[in-house]
Amino acid sequence: MSSSAIEKKALSGAAAHFGERRSSKAGMFGAWYAAEHRLLTMKAFVSTIVATSIFNPLMYLFALGVGIGSYVDKGSGGALFGVSYLTFVGPALLASASINAVFEETSYPVMGGFKWTREFYAMHAAPLRPDQIASGVLIAAMIRSVFTVLVFWIMLRLFGTLPSPRAILVLPAAVLSGLGIGSVMAALAASLKDDDGWFALINRMVIAPMFLFSGTFYPLEQMPIWIRWIGWISPLWHATDFGRWAGFDHPVESWLVVVHAVYLIGLAGIGWFLASRQFARRLEE
């Protein structure tokens, strides 16, 4: 065998060994590599994320605590389960903030990763598996949600609206509500070739009604029975009711607390699975 043939064989063997090592490493940490990329992308508008995470809660707190809340408290005479209006709506605002943050990360950015930047195709050739790419997107969105919710939670604690010792449980409930919506949204966004107004439609026909009819600003029991089903199937209501139980000892049956937790975890798991499957279909077309 000639020396050139030996060199070629050695080089090909080294390349194969390096490829196996890289593939193995990606197999262990692929989702985190994809998440790291998404987080680095967020650096371009990190100031906006931080500003909205701080000032949006402040505006809500002053509007509902000092403004509208003072009138509601006077009119209700503490009828909202014996707590202030701000205390009542606090857990709902936390969950809403999580849903909005994750929705931003799993709508246009996901469709753009396939259509405009095509970064998901580049990741797939790196090599990363489709499920790792989908998981990375959701992990990054969840990290942003945790930051947003944590800032809001601290402010609520400072305002004295989460007095219960188990108020820390409000955090995972809020994050899971965002992850549940976001994972399903990621699956849908991965299936879209063009926007065609889909995201605006979802925002108006799903997100907005969910925000209004999930017991956010008033007890779900005060709504007509024929419209309560929107709350019952909404992750926002499940996170809100669980959060009120955890945040200020709102009376909730033990079995319903379990239902809330199972629903939020189950929706997040199902959505994660659907997102991974849809990413695989799109990347293997």
Does position 10 have pLDDT exceeding 50, yes or no? no
Q: What is the average pLDDT across 203-231?
A: 91
pLDDT of 76: 62
pLDDT at position 11 is: 36
Percent of the chain clearing pLDDT 70 (strictly above) = 86
Q: Tell me the residue type at 50.
A: V
Residue 161 falls inside a structural domain: yes
Q: Which of 5-9, 51-55, 129-133, 240-244 has the lowest mean pLDDT?
A: 5-9
Confidence at residue 27, expressed as pLDDT on a 0 to 100 scale: 63
Contacts of 199 (CB under 8 A, 6+ apart): 107, 108, 189
Greater model confidence, 271 or 53: 271
pTM of the model: 0.87
Distance, CA of 244 to CA of 205 (rounded, Å): 26
* 85-106 vs 108-115: helix crossing angle, rounded to 10: 0
In this structure, is residue 100 part of a structural domain? yes
* Phi-psi group of 160: left, alpha or beta (phi > 0 → left; psi -120 to 50 → alpha; rest → beta): left
Confidence label for 25 from pLDDT (cuts 50, 70 and 90): low
Higher pLDDT, 111 or 59: 111
d(CA 62, CA 60): 6
> Quick check: is 80 in a domain?
yes
Measured CA to CA, the distance from residue 151 to residue 51 in angstroms comes to 11
In a domain, 155, yes or no: yes
Write out the E strands in 96-176: none
Nearest CA among 94, 87, 91, 83 for reference residue 56: 94
Residue 156 has pLDDT above 80, yes or no: yes
Would you mind telling me the total number of residues written for the chain in this entry?
A: 285
Q: Decide if 86 is inside a domain.
A: yes
For position 79, what pLDDT does the model report?
A: 56
Q: Return the pLDDT at 142.
A: 97
End-to-end CA distance of the chain: 43
Answer for the pair 241, 263: CB distance below 8 angstroms, yes or no.
no
- Choice among 43-52, 72-81, 209-218 with the minimum mean pLDDT: 72-81
Distances (CA, A) of 234 to 83, 206, 220, 242: 24, 10, 12, 13
For the stretch 27-38, pLDDT in tens is: 668 999 999 999
Contact 230, 214 (CB under 8 A): yes
What's the rounded mean pLDDT across residues 116-145? 95
Read off the pLDDT of residues 69-101 as tens digits, 9 standing for 90 and up: 777 766 665 556 778 888 999 999 999 999 999
* Mean pLDDT, all residues of the chain: 87
- For residue 15, tell me if it sits in a domain: no
How many CB atoms are closer than 10 A to CB 261? 17
254-281 confidence digits (pLDDT tens): 999 999 999 999 999 999 999 999 999 9
Give 38 or 65, the one with higher predicted confidence.
Answer: 38
- The reply to whether 225 falls in a domain is yes
Per-residue pLDDT, averaged over 216-242, amounts to 93
Residue 182's domain comprises 30-284
Q: Which of 112, 170, 122 is nearest to 146 (CA)?
A: 170
Closest CA to 250 of 163, 149, 135: 163
pLDDT for 152 beyond 90: yes
Residue-level pLDDT at 23: 47
In the predicted structure, residue 110 carries a pLDDT above the cut 70: yes
Q: What's the structural domain count of the chain?
A: 1
Residue 6 in any domain: the answer is: no
Q: Is the confidence at residue 16, as pLDDT, over 90?
A: no
